[in-house]
A and B are shown apart, each in its own frame.
Chain A
């Protein structure tokens, strides 16, 4: 028996079963969606790996990305971040805390009139640089901001 052929057939069977279970409603659509979560990027342990996984390794620095965050945050459990991109045609923003155990925090895609702006709160394990990656017109840009943290939020 050809082992390669076995593997191929097994793989085919599994994929077939998945699509059947979606069409028959055994799996709800969100279960199929959750599979799109970029596991390798969000579980990357270093900044370099996380950046590579979202395709931001060759980004150029830009002053048109504004990061509004406190210089000193007392509580690392909730550090308020406000990010705006003034780069024309920005379609998505990815936010990183460089020294967190998992640096990638969020990846946001904008469409149908949404402005490239996002506001949320992040946990920070220690004082770190915040890095924002913007994608616009097939190019990537980044900006950073230093935030010092008094008490760890991890």
Chain B
């Protein structure tokens, strides 16, 4: 599942601008399936952790309202080209997504 999160990290001065795209349904648990009329069970990312060279830079908790196939942007000061970015997500079913990239 290495391709589950696409990451682009670009250096602007000494600040790394990171954009990550994750593949996830982000089901709220409030939506009805139009065909069956049944409520679609909740399935959404609850936690996203981003690390730079192994150090946690961002720890975010999400509710079900973040859009489908979430995009996440953040900035890290003091970054250098070649720094390793790793992002890991965990959803309410305990499933995980992983992605990594290097700052360019």
* Chain A residues, Cβ within 8 Å of B50: 114
A112 contacts B52, CB within 8 Å? yes
B73 contacts A119, CB within 8 Å? yes
Please classify the interface of chain B as helix (H, G, I), strand (E, B), loop, or mixed, using the class held by over half of its residues.
Answer: strand
A112 contacts B56, CB within 8 Å? yes
Residues 35-61 of B, flagged 1 when their CB comes within 8 A of A and 0 if not, give 000000000001100101001111111
* Chain B residues, Cβ within 8 Å of A78: 67-68
B71 contacts A121, CB within 8 Å? yes
The size of the chain A interface, using a CB distance under 8 A, is: 37
The size of the chain B interface, using a CB distance under 8 A, is: 38
CB distance from B2 to the nearest CB of A (A): 17
> Number of contacts between A and B (CB, 8 Å)?
119
B60 contacts A109, CB within 8 Å? yes
User: Of B60, B63, B75, B79, which contacts A104 at CB under 8 A?
Assistant: B63
A100 contacts B59, CB within 8 Å? no
With A33-B47, A108-B60, A121-B67 in contact, is A113–B79 under 8 Å at CB?
yes
Please classify the interface of chain A as helix (H, G, I), strand (E, B), loop, or mixed, using the class held by over half of its residues.
Answer: mixed
* Chain B residues, Cβ within 8 Å of A1: none
Residues 7-39 of A, flagged 1 when their CB comes within 8 A of B and 0 if not, give 000000000000000000000001101101110
* Chain B residues, Cβ within 8 Å of A82: 73
Residues of B near any A CB (own CB < 8 A): 15, 19, 26, 28, 30-31, 46-47, 50, 52, 55-68, 70-79, 90, 92, 94, 96
- A sample of 16 cross-chain residue pairs with beta-carbon separation below 8 angstroms, ordered by A number, consists of A33-B47, A34-B94, A37-B46, A38-B61, A77-B68, A100-B65, A104-B63, A106-B62, A108-B59, A113-B77, A113-B79, A114-B58, A114-B74, A120-B73, A122-B67, A123-B66
Residues of A near any B CB (own CB < 8 A): 30-31, 33-34, 36-38, 42, 77-79, 82, 97, 100-102, 104-115, 117-123, 153-154
